[in-house]
Structure 1
């Protein structure tokens, strides 16, 4: 359980932060940048939720919770020794990505196939979801880069990869089921 009695601790004043296992690293470390970008995505998703209602909002709330799970996963290195940890470590699991895939398939079943690339925009919710999609892609790139130098849970990478697809399809749904998508017109301003 998390207990936050005091918000500032001064322990990061020299440019370091603690990871989930208690080890300290520079705040510019790739691991911190990776989970920090998932936190940025979560904040952007909070803005998107201002324009969502009902089932849309519930789906976004589930994703926000998953993003905290990814943050917990990424801030705890040494994945190879999870079985030796004093307490169970929170890691992303395949079921979280499976849920996204099922939701993508359900949303996509209501959309006409694309015949053009679409520009980010349309409704306020769609525009925010497109912004979330691009932040998600950046988070994914950072986690993949991290996995090149340190062990990373592959389920975190898979989740982020699928999540950006989820945001794309959800943005189309938010644009009146794709009817209000803003289509790219190649060379329109020549």
Structure 2
């Protein structure tokens, strides 16, 4: 009870003390961020002279547009990349790095095909074929079906010309069985 009376009698000094503490805290936080920003600016200037070590790794991040999946592949850098700066990599190899250091480069690549986790049923030249992305960068025919395409409804044939993706062989087999019945 006495504390409440004391606060009521001394409002002005308490408000001034709290304001002073808040101002100091804001100044401290602002100083910290300005210092970090200035240090980051200096780092980016010196970063331009960083060169790739001959033992560096390149991480390819493939984004597969149709399914949205992202797969990563880490491999040693090509020999001709050793000693390149980030700008040199862009000029020489035609690659922009999402991340660049002496030990690692991350390169993003967007591909207009399904990732290896999917199977695609597609009509090609009157035949139904099953495709799969085997190596991450191009699709291969894994099976050709004897299902007559001419007997299918036009809307189904139109979808098959574009290609229909499946997450598993079981889903694909179930769909094929529904076409054949």
Q: Same fold (TM over 0.5)?
A: no
**TM-score normalized with structure 2 length:** 0.23
Which structure: greater helix fraction? 1
Answer 1 or 2: which has greater strand percent. 2
